[in-house]
């Protein structure tokens, strides 16, 4: 079991990442607005299946890496910090994409919706980098089995993503209309998220022990 402070800190990061713009969220919102909430939820099931795949790969891979290479943890810490800085820039850069800029999509069957959600997640490099470089920052090697901690943290991320994306799907239509009518709210959300991600990245960079929380 991870440390409570690490688990809480990781949950905060997971919330921030779930709310930040990306292919998964853009696809789910687009699909929901075009084809309805049921289609969005089926697509979300595929996205979550992709998270499970990455979690299992990362859990066993990270366990082997940290046990075999003494300095792997510091290397992963730096990579995770760089990833957070990249996400912060993506949130605030000029011309950054809004979650609610949707595209027209054809109506598909539920099985195709599931597989498209899965492929959207598996082909999203952000997710692979998140599990391989960010999640290990919250694993304490002296606080239990690395494999078990990784599975717990991954499960927390999947649960948070399911809840946030589920709520977004349920309210996608009305939220999209409201935010498109209030562009300043969209800009404020992007800058707030960028500030949170950047501050976490800087803390990781200057924490020589590579522990957050």
Q: What is the pLDDT of residues 191-203, one digit of tens each?
A: 776 777 787 777 7
- Residue 117: closest CA among 180, 49, 179: 49
Q: Is residue 33 part of a domain?
A: yes
Q: Is residue 212 part of a domain?
A: no
Domain span including residue 186: 4-206
140: region left, alpha or beta (phi > 0 left; psi from -120 to 50 alpha): beta
Contact 46, 161 (CB under 8 A): no
Contact 162, 30 (CB under 8 A): no
pLDDT attached to residue 45: 96
Contact 42, 113 (CB under 8 A): yes
Q: Into how many domains does the chain fold?
A: 1
Give the pLDDT confidence of 25-82 residue by residue, as tens digits: 778 887 887 788 899 999 999 999 999 988 888 788 766 666 566 576 677 667 767 8
Q: Is residue 75 part of a domain?
A: yes
- Residue 80: closest CA among 6, 5, 135: 135
d(CA 13, CA 24): 17
Q: Is the pLDDT of residue 163 over 90?
A: yes
pLDDT attached to residue 147: 83
Q: Is residue 66 part of a domain?
A: yes
Overall average pLDDT of the 135-159 stretch: 84
Contact 179, 101 (CB under 8 A): no
pLDDT attached to residue 118: 92
d(CA 40, CA 143): 39
The overall average pLDDT reported for the chain is 76
Overall average pLDDT of the 14-33 stretch: 79
Q: Is residue 106 part of a domain?
A: yes
Q: Is residue 100 part of a domain?
A: yes
Q: Is residue 213 part of a domain?
A: no
Overall average pLDDT of the 142-162 stretch: 87
Range with the poorest average pLDDT among 12-16, 102-106, 123-127, 150-154: 102-106
| 149/3: higher pLDDT | 149
Q: Is the pLDDT of residue 4 over 70?
A: yes
Q: Is the pLDDT of residue 111 over 80?
A: yes
Q: Is residue 31 part of a domain?
A: yes
Overall average pLDDT of the 162-174 stretch: 86
| 56/142: higher pLDDT | 56
């Amino acid at each position: 079991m991870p440390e409570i402070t690490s688990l809480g800190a990781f949950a905060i990061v997971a919330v921030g990442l779930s709310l930040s713009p990306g292919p998964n969220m853009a696809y789910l919102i687009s699909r929901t607005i075009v084809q309805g909430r049921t289609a969005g939820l089926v697509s979300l099931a595929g996205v979550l299946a992709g998270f499970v795949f990455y979690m299992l790969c990362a859990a066993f891979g990270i366990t082997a890496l940290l046990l075999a290479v003494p300095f792997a943890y510091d290397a992963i810490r730096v990579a995770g910090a760089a990833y957070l800085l990249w996400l912060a820039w993506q949130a605030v850069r000029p011309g950054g994409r809004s979650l609610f800029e949707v595209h027209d999509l054809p109506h598909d069957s539920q099985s195709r919706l599931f597989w498209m959600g899965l492929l959207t997640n598996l082909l999203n490099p952000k997710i692979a980098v998140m599990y391989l470089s960010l999640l290990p920052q919250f694993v304490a090697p002296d606080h239990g089995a690395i494999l078990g901690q990784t599975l717990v943290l991954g499960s927390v991320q999947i649960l948070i993503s399911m809840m946030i994306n589920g709520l977004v799907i349920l309210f996608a239509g009305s939220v999209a209309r409201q935010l498109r009518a209030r562009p300043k709210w969209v800009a404020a959300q992007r800058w707030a998220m960028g500030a949170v991600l950047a501050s976490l990245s800087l803390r990781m960079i200057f924490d020589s022990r590579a522990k957050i929380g």
